[in-house]
Chains A and B, each alone.
Chain A
Amino acid sequence: MYNILQRLGGITSFAMSTLMALIVVISLTTPLLPSNPTHEVTLHSVQTTTGRMVDPFDRTSRSAEYARLTFDVDADLSSMFNWNTKLLFAFITADFVSPGFDTNRVVIWDRIIRSKRQAKLRLRKHHNKYLLRNYAMSFRGVEAANLTLHINPVPYLGIMYDKSMVSIPFSIPRPEKASK
């Protein structure tokens, strides 16, 4: 009763709708898959220096205060790898409150974890990958500082979701050479 073109059209539209439905189902169910990662961050030391950094785009970098952290990370994130995980983006942020600014969150270290094998993190005495400085020129008045480890799984397909983890408090000292 039907000719070839009609059959082809019917098959194509059915295939398209099934594909759409699959995409929706995958996107909605991936964040619900269980995982039980372990995580631990220990901070060894924080040093603040000034006058030693040069940032090509930041003209004020020569006289700004920069903090250097030494920390350890122990984490087992392999359970976060499910069939729909392309990679894990792990990063550590330093959060603090400073005069005039309610929220300051700066990523100081990040790593892309591509497989279960790489998911067992054992970092010893690492330094921050990215320069940590306040929006203002110094860390004066900065309080309630925290180091937080975040994991952001990136699926092969679907919705992005976030799992943030342990937070440890720390304080950022002023540099030895007192500068105004």
Chain B
Amino acid sequence: MELLSNAKKYGVRSLLLQGLTFLSVLTSAFMIWKGLSLFTNSESPVVVVLSGSMKPAYDRGDILFLHNGYSPIAVGEVVVYKINDKPIPIVHRVMKVHTENETGKQYLLTKGDNNNADDRGLYNPGQMWIQRDEIIGRVKGFVPYAGMGTIWMNDYPQLKMVLLGTLCVLSLFSND
């Protein structure tokens, strides 16, 4: 196999070094993401808006930067939350906050700016409020349209394949 003959020709060390160079691209990207995630206390500190329910403020394809931290949520903040057992995170505004004084537990109700009704229809059946730990983060900054690539790749999976294929071919042709 080509790998074995290459190993004999260049030595194991050289292969390991090449492997490390390639891996360090992936690992440093992942570690930077993890570091940001830990700093903001959010499982996903950068998200792409998928629906138009926050129009005209945020539209499909906008990239949002989140910061969760540990402080209580204030009313009027735009948050990203994920209901327990539901896989899709939602970006909406907090309309009601009730904070218990003994436990500090918060009862939150959200609604999309572009929706007429509040989100109780999106929560789990019987769930009237969401809790602080279902919040992934509050929106602190955003860049419009920058996430359209992700949306296209979700809508047209062939695009993902084409992109991956091109990257592989390009890396084969580069010198190192």
Contacts and interface: CB of A to CB of B under 8 A. Distances in A.
A14 B99 CA distance: 49
B108 to A, nearest CB: 10
Contacts of B140: 159-160
Contact of B57 (A27, A57, A89, A159): A89
B141 A135 contact: no
Contacts of B99: 101-104
Interface stretch (A34-42, A149-157, A171-179): A149-157
B2 interface: no
Interface string B94-129: 011111111000010000010000101100000010
Contacts of B141: 27, 158-160
7 contacts: A87-B56, A93-B75, A100-B100, A103-B72, A103-B99, A156-B144, A160-B140
Interface of B: 56-57, 72, 74-76, 78, 93, 95-102, 107, 113, 118, 120-121, 128, 139-144
Contacts of A114: 56
A23 interface: yes
A73 to B, nearest CB: 16
Given A23-B143, A158-B142, A160-B139, 9 more contacts: A58-B120, A58-B128, A89-B57, A93-B75, A93-B76, A102-B99, A102-B100, A107-B75, A112-B56
A179 B96 CA distance: 25
B56 A157 contact: no
Nearest to A159: B141
Nearest to B109: A106
Nearest to B98: A135
Contacts of A154: 57
B101 A130 contact: no
B113 A112 contact: yes
A107 B142 contact: no
Contacts of A162: 76
B98 A89 contact: no
A107 B110 CA distance: 10
